[in-house]
Amino acid sequence: MHRLPSRFKQRVRLVNRRLLALVCLGAIWPAHAQTSTATFTVTATVLPTCTVVGGVPLAFGVVTPGSQRDGSVTVSATCTLGTPYTLALDAGTGSGATVASRLMTSGSDTLQYTLYQDAGRTTLWGDGSGGTSVRSSTGTGLTQSFTVYGRVPSNATAPVGSYTDTITVTATY
């Protein structure tokens, strides 16, 4: 039998150790997986919209001849972000009323009153006709509140009774 020199044996052992180390390292390192990618589109459409909410009743309380009575109520609008809109108030349900001079009724009796956009009660709030103006704004996506200021003038006269009217708030956008 032929014996290999000891130097050669050492070299073979060294190569075997190195191979074993490489095999072990390969087991530790994860294999690199192949990948494939794709894309898809996401879409949505946001349409302009507004929701209007009326307030609690505008209550003038007890009206005394010769004394004006003021009151106010809040209405709100929630409109899509960036949507321009206007708020109009109609003439109400009082027979013979106009947007400039509204009428509360008690049976067939009436009591005159007016609605304004400002606390100084100088800008009539109506539908844009008859010397009135609409309220303009731009939606924020959040609820926006607007105060409606009312006044029963001191020269308003009416028989004894409980008077009511119903105003419709319209958002145009």
pLDDT of residue 24: 58
Query: What b/e sequence results for 40-66 when a residue is b if at least 16 CB atoms lie within 10 Å of its CB, and e otherwise?
Result: eeeeeeeeeebebeeeeebebeebeee
* pLDDT tens track for 1-16: 566 566 666 776 766 6
How far apart CA 148 and CA 35 sit, in angstroms, is 64
pLDDT of residue 55: 76
pLDDT of residue 25: 56
Q: For the domain 50-172, what is the CATH code?
A: 2.60.40.1090
Under-70 pLDDT residues of the chain: 1-9, 12, 14-16, 19-31
**pTM for this model (two decimals):** 0.77
Burial class (CB in 10 A: 0-12, 13-18, 19+), 103: buried
pLDDT of residue 91: 98
